[in-house]
Amino acid sequence: MQTVKVWDNFTRIYHLSQLILLALLWYTGENAEFEWHFICGFTLAGLWLTRLAWGFIGSDTSKFIHFVKTPISVLKAWKSNSIATPHHGHNPVGGYMVMFLLFCLGMQLITGLFASDDVLAEGPLYMSVSESFAETMDSLHHQTFNVLLVLVGLHALAGILHVLRGDNVILAIFTGKKKTKQSVEPLKLKSAMFPLAIWTVFSYVIYSWGMTAASF
């Protein structure tokens, strides 16, 4: 049994920060604290864009090419039950779950730019479109959040099932490390400094534009 580092520090920060920001967005939205809602949303938008970039230029286990397989490969993995064996990173089914989460998160962030509470708060793009289009985006903003909750719940349930099978993927999110019986070559994991710098730039640009264009 050996301990292998499977996640770089930025990916660990991403997972935890995403959950914290989603919780804050729910809380601020429910309590009509729209200034903080926008601030958290713009910060999450910067994080989301950084994760997309990291999917192409990041560490081995963070790259989309590492865990996004063809549908045929996923069906074969499901049929052979190889998805139940430990993977260094996401297994083929988990890879598609990650992509669904990123897609829905992107939808949530984009539709929020057009949202309005019909009283004071208006997203930065609300005045740029017709009222009917804005209403559609606002409706999608609320519906997509419910879909996100379901996906997060399924993702957490899958993590618990892996833990019960002896593959502690949840602990790996916090430590970045997993125990394995397999002999593997060291993964190429990159420093967190570069993606954190990208996140800072993205967040600053989106925040500067968004806080100027939004109303609350």
CA–CA dist 167, 35 (Å, integer): 41
Q: What is the set of domains in the chain, with CATH numbers?
A: 2-213 (1.20.950.20)
147-181 pLDDT, tens digit per residue, is 999 999 998 898 888 788 877 788 888 888 877 66
Task: Please state which of the ranges 68-77, 147-156, 186-195 shows the lowest mean pLDDT.
Answer: 68-77
Task: Please tell me what DSSP assigns to residue 81.
Answer: T
| Closest-CA residue to 137 (of 161, 170, 113, 105) | 113
Tokens 């502690």 correspond to 168
**pTM for this predicted structure:** 0.90
Enclosing H/E stretch for 179: strand 177-180
* 116 phi/psi in degrees, rounded to 5: -150, 150
